């Protein structure tokens, strides 16, 4: 503990309740501030030096932590799920939360989250935006197809959502004005969602050119998209890709036993990354992707030649490896959910190693 004053900030959209705890005298300094960073900085500088601050991670983001760090004040962003609270403490107010944060910081019991850089957060927002657009497009297509299904109209001309299918959709017409208006609205919503999806391209992602050398390497599917890969280990446990484990009770196995029970995958990475991990390996299950199929990702038509020869060779090796893994799982009649998780873990390790290696690296 190298700070004299520990500052807890309960940050909201329109107000910030601050509490400073003097570690020498035990005095509390409390103030309700505006969310303006300069206002918060002015109050913090009025406290006895040195000062260290913390606030909970939440919808207000990491802007305050970055601002305080740039002016020389260390600021931790606390993980809300890791905050220790007394079992009988059920009263929750802004002032009490700020005091609690200040005391935990004074006792060095704050578990902080990693504050991403501006570029990393922008890449993360891009990945999440693309995922949201995909989900909106799927919902719009479902609404359109189910509206037709309620009228007994089903498309049998081949695969859905192709150019031929779109021509068939445009030919549908209803005599009832209300139904026609509902159909046109659903069709326009689907087209708008399709246009929003096509606006996102691989060129917007920092590692898009290299990651699209693999069929599962679409930046919208990268398990660690927008995250510094140096934070993670190769094993996958800290990415939520390795099963949780717990030792068996020694009363069952006897003294000295070290058997471990494997459980479900931990919830790590958030809902967006969970869906990305589940969807990315499916690209390897069908046919082996050709170099021409890898030349475009997310609507951008950048040629595969933009990648270095070493990167292209590495992408093809990863493509063949995961395709062979899928073929082996299918031959052994492995449950698809288990096979998909295993392939997702290997693909995440491939992306992790690709992110840590230099573009000219050819080693796997």
Phi, psi dihedral angles at 215 (to 5 degrees) = -60, -30
Instruction: State residue 271's pLDDT score.
Output: 58
Instruction: State residue 183's pLDDT score.
Output: 96
Instruction: State residue 296's pLDDT score.
Output: 45
Judged by phi (left if over 0) then psi (alpha if -120 to 50, else beta), residue 82 lies in: alpha
Helix 270-279 to helix 336-356 angle (10° resolution) is: 110
Q: Which residues of 61-72 are buried (b: 16+ CB within 10 A; e: fewer)?
A: ebebbbebeeee
Instruction: State residue 299's pLDDT score.
Output: 40
Listed residue (58, 59, 47) closest to 21, CA to CA? 47
Task: Provide the whole-model pTM.
Answer: 0.66
Q: How far is CA 119 from CA 116, 122, 124, 218, 227, in A?
A: 8, 5, 9, 18, 10
Q: What is the DSSP letter of 280?
A: G
Instruction: State residue 282's pLDDT score.
Output: 57
Are the beta carbons of 219 and 225 closer than 8 angstroms?
yes
Per-residue model confidence as pLDDT tens digits over 23-65:
889 999 999 999 999 999 999 999 998 999 999 999 999 999 9
Instruction: State residue 79's pLDDT score.
Output: 93
DSSP 3-state of 21: strand
What is the C-alpha separation between 203 and 357, in angstroms, rounded? 20
Listed residue (131, 70, 319) closest to 212, CA to CA? 319
Q: How far is CA 201 from CA 19, 127, 176, 293, in A?
A: 45, 11, 40, 15
Are the beta carbons of 94 and 10 closer than 8 angstroms?
yes
In tens digits, what is the pLDDT along the chain, a chain of 364 residues? 578 899 999 999 999 999 999 988 999 999 999 999 999 999 999 999 899 999 999 999 999 999 999 999 999 999 998 888 877 777 889 999 999 999 999 999 999 998 999 988 988 888 888 889 999 999 999 999 999 999 999 999 899 999 999 999 999 999 999 999 999 999 999 999 999 988 876 444 444 444 444 444 444 344 444 455 555 555 555 555 555 555 555 444 455 555 555 555 655 555 555 555 555 555 555 555 555 554 444 443 344 445 567 777 777 777 788 778 888 888 888 887 778 778 777 777 777 676 666 544 444 3
What is the C-alpha separation between 75 and 66, in angstroms, rounded? 8
Instruction: State residue 345's pLDDT score.
Output: 77
DSSP 3-state of 208: helix
């Amino acid at each position: 503990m190298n700070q004299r004053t520990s500052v807890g900030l309960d940050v909201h959209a329109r107000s910030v309740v601050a509490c400073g705890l003097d570690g020498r005298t035990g005095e509390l300094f409390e103030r309700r501030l505006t969310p303006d960073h300069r206002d918060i900085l002015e109050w913090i500088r009025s406290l006895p030096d040195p000062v260290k601050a913390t606030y909970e991670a939440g919808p207000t983001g990491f802007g305050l932590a970055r601002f305080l760090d740039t002016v020389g004040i260390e600021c931790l962003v606390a993980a809300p799920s890791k905050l220790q609270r007394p079992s009988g403490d059920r009263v929750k107010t802004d002032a009490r939360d700020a005091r609690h944060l200040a005391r935990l910081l004074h006792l060095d019991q704050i578990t902080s989250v990693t504050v991403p850089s501006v570029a990393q957060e922008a890449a993360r927002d891009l990945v999440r935006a693309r995922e949201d657009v995909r989900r909106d497009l799927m919902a719009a297509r479902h609404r359109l197809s189910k509206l037709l299904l309620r009228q007994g109209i089903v498309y049998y001309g081949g695969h859905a959502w192709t150019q031929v299918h779109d021509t068939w959709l445009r030919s549908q017409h209803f005599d009832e004005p209300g139904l026609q208006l509902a159909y046109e609205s659903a069709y326009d919503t689907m087209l708008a969602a399709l246009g929003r999806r096509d606006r996102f391209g691989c060129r917007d992602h920092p590692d898009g050119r290299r990651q699209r050398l693999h069929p599962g390497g679409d930046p919208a599917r990268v398990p660690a998209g927008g995250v510094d890969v140096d934070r993670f280990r190769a094993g996958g446990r800290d990415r939520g890709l390795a099963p949780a484990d717990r030792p068996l009770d020694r009363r069952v196995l006897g003294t000295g036993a070290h058997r471990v029970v494997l459980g479900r995958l931990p919830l790590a990475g958030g809902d967006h990354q969970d869906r990305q991990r589940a969807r990315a390996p499916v690209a390897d299950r069908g046919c082996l992707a050709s170099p021409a199929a890898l030349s475009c990702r997310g609507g951008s038509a950048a040629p595969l030649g933009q990648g270095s020869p070493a990167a292209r060779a590495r992408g093809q090796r990863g493509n063949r490896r995961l395709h062979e893994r899928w073929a082996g799982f299918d031959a052994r009649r492995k449950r698809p959910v288990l096979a998909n998780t295993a392939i997702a873990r290997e693909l995440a390790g491939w992306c992790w190693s690709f992110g840590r290696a230099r573009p000219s690296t050819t080693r796997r």
